[in-house]
Structure 1
Amino acid sequence: MIPTENKKPKRILIFSLAYLPHVAGAEVAVKEITDRLNPAEFSCDMVTLRFTKNDLSEEKIANLTIYRKRWSGLPFFLQKVLFPFTAFAAALRLHRKNHYDLVWSIMASYAGFAAVFFKYCFPKVSFLLTIQEGENFGRRKVFRFLFKRIFRRADRIQVISNFLADWARKMGAVCPIEVVPNGVSLRNFQKPIDNNQKKEMKERFGFKEDDVVLITTSRLVPKNRVGDVVEAMKFLPENVKFSILGIGHLESSLKSLVTSSKLETRVRFVGFVNHSDLPSYLHSADIFIRTPISEGFGVSYVEAMAAGLPVIATPVGGIEDFIRDPSTGSEQVATGLFTKVGDPKDIADKISRLINNKVLRDRLVANASKMVSEKYDWNLVAQNMADILSR
């Protein structure tokens, strides 16, 4: 628990399109942060979309009171489109009762518009915008003019990488912007598994104990370029295997690529894995690899680093905040290897370099583990966010 002086708690209303149990990186971050805020200093409510009838319309999870809203009888895509108006109406009712000091928008899309509507009505209430988007930002050009108003109306912006800070400025932000990255649960990801457990995990996928296992945790979508790693497998020895954790609309085409490349015995599609089970999968592998064409931050790499894996990535977006390639400076401070975007042969070369150079591998793991412990522990992240929320 974050210590604080004895005073009246600050009332905060959070707008988020999704929340538990429907979560991704941004929603996980909200939970990790709010769980660690001292309720004597912060009182937090959230308005979010009620995805299904099984989701409670109101509940309290740890330090957060959640209000889920939806229009009856409408298809899901319309529920999303109408969420800014639904959330704004709910916020008006809640504000009459709770008199919020700050509204906090998670992401700059549906939730951001709800926060802007609120800000126009209550200009004295502070507006904090959190940016975590890692998609191709060009997709927003259709409504860029309206979208920019979210950035211009914010009183303060928190981003998870320097790349996103630059993007926020390009979108017209004139308020202070602070970089506070997402974190990782060191207790969960640094807990090792024994050799027998590692052997069992490999055998479950038909891999041998002495196989070199690559692993990725990734949505199977175009921007993440999982197919490039599959293509790279053609240039690597038979004992190099690849576990793919994640789902997405490219799964069928990726499986076809594996079949046409005759890699069925070397590539495994694990599918969706609960976040709580992820550390075991990481500890059973040897190298973490993810080669996207864009990335807002990349917490998957940080989790792999915490689990003690050497990582290979592409030098895009927020990834450059925490991966230092030996070619850009001293190997003494390197934390991973960079590979070229869309180049399977270069990917294979970087994998071979890690396999064949134990000194480099151990150095990268040690440097990355130290960096994660010093900068990406959720307790530290929550303290930094508490400082922002208290202003």
Structure 2
Amino acid sequence: MLEKSKKVLIFTTAFRPLLGGSEIAIEEICKRLNDFSFEILTPRYKKSFPADEHRGNICIHRLGLGNKLDKFLFPLRGMLKGRAMLRRGEVKLLHAYQASYGGGAAVLLKIFNPRKKFILTLQEGKSLARQNRFIKFFRNFILKRADTITAISNHLKEYARDINREAELFLIPNGVDFKKFYAARSVDRQQLGLKESDEIIITVSRLVSKNGIADLIKAMVRAKAEIPELKLIIIGSGPLETELKNLTRELNVRNDVLFLGAKEYEEIPHYLKSADMFVRPSLSEGLGTAFIEALAAGLPIVGTPVGGVVDFLKNDETGLFCETGNPKDIAEKIISILSNRELRERLIKNGLELAQKYDWRYMAEKFRQIYLSPH
């Protein structure tokens, strides 16, 4: 049996089979710390999701009745479940991902157990400056009670420091399974209805306004005037899907833009390998892990200087910056990369070297040190 100091209780607003950047980070880090045991508490959301599930050194507890209310009731349910586990002496450390519903459950448990170490990881990708007063109060309440805070970007690290000057603060970005993305086989272009001669842009993005996909489609139309064989692959789903599809019809590029929907995370490397470049003109980002995954797959990238993107994208070295909300500028950067072989090869080479430094094994080791720290 593992010693109690190596049993960690994790609170997260979502987890498998619902996977985003935060959920992938939890799984990738946990499975690399196989000398630790992790109890993960998360809302259930759907009745088809098992209430309890074991995956290696991870035990997942999905709380609730399997409906939309589970998220809103999770702070209370998560606290009660965690309290019962603490009373049985099963865990020592509390670790919440994001100052959201998961963080709410953890902070309530911290209030009743002030001596338990509370670690908070900030993964937020939304614009925190635009949050309403209630959400701001809720986030600050959680942040101020954390003993240790990790942030995936310098942007979030500075945000945390302004709110909690007493906590230990660490920069630990999300990582990438470099070998998986670098060595992946390409999806057959013919299966996608594409030609080998096509120049393919790919983006992996939730279809929400902050990711700037409408700007990318408009930019693609402009760039296509210079590069007629240009195509765009969009992987992801979201509330703007119908609106974006209508936009491709209005701009007469319906046959040049492929909406492939959400894909299993394990499939993403293969689709990246089928493309020639990655673009996401985001309005805000927590870090932008999809960019790092694209670098690991050997793609040149174009992104905006927002959030954590500036931590790894160095203009003309590891990618090209484009202006937010400016399809003309985005198009110019696309054309620059696809028409300049020397630039493209330099960006790919530098990007691969950078992506290796973001391998998950390095990030997991940083969390190991935090978990073992007595403070």
SS in 2 for 1:98: coil
Structure 2 residue aligned with 1:234: 221
Choose which of 349, 359, 362 in structure 2 pairs with 1:377.
Answer: 359
Choose which of 117, 121, 140 in structure 2 pairs with 1:148.
Answer: 140
Choose which of 18, 26, 36 in structure 1 pairs with 2:14.
Answer: 18
Choose which of 196, 204, 211 in structure 2 pairs with 1:209.
Answer: 196
Give, in angstroms, the shift of residue 11 of structure 1.
2.7
Structure 1 residue aligned with 2:131: 139
Q: Give the distance between the partners of 1:272 and 1:31, measured in 2 at CA.
A: 19
SS in 1 for 2:242: helix
Structure 1 residue aligned with 2:208: 221
Choose which of 4, 7, 27 in structure 2 pairs with 1:31.
Answer: 27
Choose which of 270, 282, 295 in structure 2 pairs with 1:280.
Answer: 270
Choose which of 99, 114, 138 in structure 1 pairs with 2:105.
Answer: 114
Q: Give unmatched runs, 5+ long, in structure 1.
A: 1-5, 327-333
Contact 1:232-1:345 within 8 A present in 2 as well: yes
Alignment of 1:139-218 (within 5 A): 139-193=131-185, 200-201=188-189, 203-218=190-205
Give, in angstroms, the shift of residue 9 of structure 1.
4.4
Note if 1:347 corresponds to 2:330: yes
Letter aligned with residue 195 of structure 2: K
Change (3 A) 1:83 1:89: same
Answer with 252-261 or 97-106: which moved more: 97-106
Change (3 A) 1:94 1:255: same
Give, in angstroms, the shift of residue 266 of structure 1.
1.4
Structure 1 residue aligned with 2:369: 387
Contact 2:44-2:65 within 8 A present in 1 as well: no
Identity %: 38
Structure 1 residue aligned with 2:237: 247
Q: Deviations over 1:305-334 (max 9, x none)?
A: 0000000000100000000002xxxxxxx1
SS in 1 for 2:216: helix
Contact 1:298-1:319 within 8 A present in 2 as well: yes
Contact 2:218-2:327 within 8 A present in 1 as well: yes
Q: Give the distance between the partners of 1:151 and 1:239, measured in 2 at CA.
A: 49
Give, in angstroms, the shift of residue 173 of structure 1.
4.9
Answer with 165-174 or 80-89: which moved more: 165-174
Note if 1:290 corresponds to 2:284: no
TM-score normalised per structure 1: 0.90
Q: Give unmatched runs, 5+ long, in structure 2.
A: none
Structure 2 residue aligned with 1:70: 64
SS in 2 for 1:82: helix
Q: Deviations over 1:17-53 (max 9, x none)?
A: 21111221111111111111132xx332122112222
Contact 2:5-2:92 within 8 A present in 1 as well: no
Contact 2:149-2:170 within 8 A present in 1 as well: yes
Q: Give the distance between the partners of 1:162 and 1:365, measured in 2 at CA.
A: 24
Structure 2 residue aligned with 1:323: 313
Contact 1:9-1:43 within 8 A present in 2 as well: no
Structure 2 residue aligned with 1:125: 116
Change (3 A) 1:381 1:59: same
Contact 1:11-1:98 within 8 A present in 2 as well: no
Letter aligned with residue 222 of structure 1: S
Q: Give the distance between the partners of 1:140 and 1:44, measured in 2 at CA.
A: 33
Give, in angstroms, the shift of residue 207 of structure 1.
2.5
Letter aligned with residue 72 of structure 2: V
Choose which of 23, 45, 48 in structure 2 pairs with 1:51.
Answer: 45
Q: Paired residues, what number?
A: 368
Contact 1:104-1:127 within 8 A present in 2 as well: yes
Give, in angstroms, the shift of residue 265 of structure 1.
2.2
CA RMSD, 1 decimal: 1.7
Q: Give the distance between the partners of 2:220 and 2:53, measured in 1 at CA.
A: 48
Change (3 A) 1:383 1:307: same
Change (3 A) 1:95 1:233: same
Q: Deviations over 1:182-215 (max 9, x none)?
A: 111112101143xxx66x32x3333221111000
Answer with 137-146 or 377-386: which moved more: 137-146
Give, in angstroms, the shift of residue 90 of structure 1.
0.6
Structure 2 residue aligned with 1:104: 95
Q: Give the distance between the partners of 2:169 and 2:346, measured in 1 at CA.
A: 34
Structure 2 residue aligned with 1:3: none
Letter aligned with residue 137 of structure 2: F
SS in 2 for 1:85: helix
Give, in angstroms, the shift of residue 145 of structure 1.
2.2
